[in-house]
Structure 1
Amino acid sequence: MAIKVVHYEHQGHPAWGVVHGNRIQPLSEAYPSTADFVQYGIKEAQDSIVSSASLCLSEVILRSPITEDRQFICQGINYASHVRESGMDPAKIGFNTIFTKASSSLASAHADVVRPEHVRLLDYEIELGLVLRRPMTEPQEIRHDTLHDWLAGVTIINDVSARDIQLPQTQFYKGKSYRTFGPAGPYLVLLNASEWSRWSELHMRLQVNGNPRQDTYCGDMIFKPHRTLTELSALQNLYPGDVIATGTPAGCAARAPGKLTMWILKHLISEQEKWRMFIKKGTSNPAYLKPGDLMTASIRTDDGAIDLGEQRNRIVAP
């Protein structure tokens, strides 16, 4: 059975615990980082029983289940629906787009997201986060049926993005790394081998002020988790507790212009003028986030057997 783990604060002290309904069984060790929990706390979490759940969820302050000392790696244009929404053909995506996001952007599943004063085109991206279980310090060939050997579990990531920084400046890192731009959790859900085989059935939903924006199954991914892990292992070292955000589906506020507009922008208008027009048009798009908006995000299988919980994040001014 999928195990819901929380990183929380109670009476001023950080701790880890296993969720049973609306109660928590605190684990015996505090585990300073996600790496420590993944390496030394999983067995205790697997042995957790409901009768030991002594703490009410409403009594704690949730923290991100991914601590700031971990690597925060992201995939871009990895959902066929999002690729089409961006004006491209999924069949022509020939490579896996990888970038990083500052781990200091990590925030709790219920934290406020601060929109910097100079940002006007603030967007949301619900994503499935994969959390490493073992070190990967040399190239590995990961198969779809061996994910459980390499991954501890999954969590919800909202890859909040300042489009007026990211796109005109071609700065993915800069446009996505402001503090609070990475809500994670509420749970780190530990999966066994049979549960990992169901990752494609996970149903992603994001709403803004109760209005549906994103609604897709994870099976829409172009580069599946085993392919991404294989590729990354040949590129860099990965360690327990590192997180990979695997891309977002259709429904973001940002939209690609039509083909005629794209031709005009490419051939008749300077780069500077093109992005000035993009930002001006974007400021009239009500789908972009503004202070006061409430994002809610959930990922679960339709039968509820694997449930990553729900994020609730309010947009606020500095």
Structure 2
Amino acid sequence: MNTNPKRFSNVNHHDDAQSDGSILAPVTVIGLGAMGSKLARTFVNSGYDTTVWNRTPEKAAELVGLGASGATEIADAIAASPLVIVCVLDYDVARHILEPIGDKLSGKVVVNLTNGTPEQARNMETWMSSLGADYLDGGIMAVPSLIATPHAVILYSGSETAYGTYEQVLDSLGTSHYLGPDPALAPLNDLALLSGMYGMFGGFIHAVALAGTEGAKASDFTTSLLMPFLQAMMSTLPEMAKQIDTGDYSAKDASLAMQAAHDTIGEVSRVQGVSAETFAPIFELMKRRVEEGYGGDDFASVIELIRKRRSS
């Protein structure tokens, strides 16, 4: 993570002046929930001239005490900085907040770190462009406590110029990844990563529930057996990804026919009194792929049952 914030020499502000006459770039944060507050706190702690605004003004009090400027009117918050960070509940809320002062956004860079869909991101970019603003969409792959650490990964897509200008400012929040000029890429990859996370969580819950039927403590089972096994399995993902890219799913070790021959996990779950509903969908896909004649494939072949068909 780059910890040297971008400096601007042509900003008329007397605070935070540096020996070379430059100052830290001003930034405005709109939305002071748990994540927005942590973003704003990070900018303040990094020395940025930070303006904050929230629909509930009381939420700004602590940040103002730390050195942020609290704007009572959103128009004043927008006017205070060339860079505007938006972190609210959803895109509808963001639009509702910004629409009344849309004419104030001309010439601004708006970075939307609100969770949403690719279509919403593209629509927001179109609207921002009509207002004369540069737009970046973003996906925060971290909880608030990880912000300002290298473990916080933040995805960005949209205006390449905006990202290039403020990359070092954004780097203060975590490890930045710019995915390209299409604003849809950040939310798409954000949701794809979350789907992988929830798949892992579902497997974890089922595994712990099964082991617990015979008295194993979840913490002991997780640290001594599950984590080492999953870490070993993680090493197979790059090879599976290669199979998906090439379309060559030829089984190297365990074929789908072998893996789907018996629903052993489902059976033991039923016997042990544990619901198999987190595992059952995966098993049904494996079985269906075998029934379609692909029993000699590796597990990665299952993707062909769910992926969007490429146009020829």
TM-score (norm 1): 0.27
Bigger Cα Rg: 2
Higher relative contact order (CA 8 A, sep 6+): 1
More strand by share: 1
Quick check: which one's helix share is greater?
A: 2
